[in-house]
Homo-oligomer: A and B are copies of this chain.
Amino acid sequence: DAHEAEDSGKTWLPSLMTETPQEGFALAVTLSQKGVGTTQPDAEVRKEQRPEYAENPDSLIAASHVIATHFQTVAAANDYWRE
């Protein structure tokens, strides 16, 4: 049921650590979407909005900016996956 409340008790963010930078980027994407999902918890509404913003270049750039901000956090957490 897409209308179910999100994250009610479920663990979705056990750690900021990832094996690789690429998994870290994927985590940054998840964090960005979670930020949207927190403000608009109705998955049905979010699904309806998708065509609107996915075809608006400015929305895509803004979404990419949020991902970039979270990637800073995840990359620092992982000490930039230095060896």
Contacts and interface: CB of A to CB of B under 8 A. Distances in A.
Interface of A: 7, 11-17, 20-22, 25, 29, 31-36, 38-40, 45-46, 49, 52-73, 75-77, 80-82
Contact of A71 (B40, B54, B70): B70
Q: Chain A binding site: helix, strand, loop or mixed by DSSP?
A: helix
A38 B68 CA distance: 12
Given A21-B14, A73-B71, A57 B53 contact: yes
A81 to B, nearest CB: 6
Contact of A52 (B11, B33, B57): B57
Given A54-B45, A57-B59, A59-B57, A65 B75 contact: no
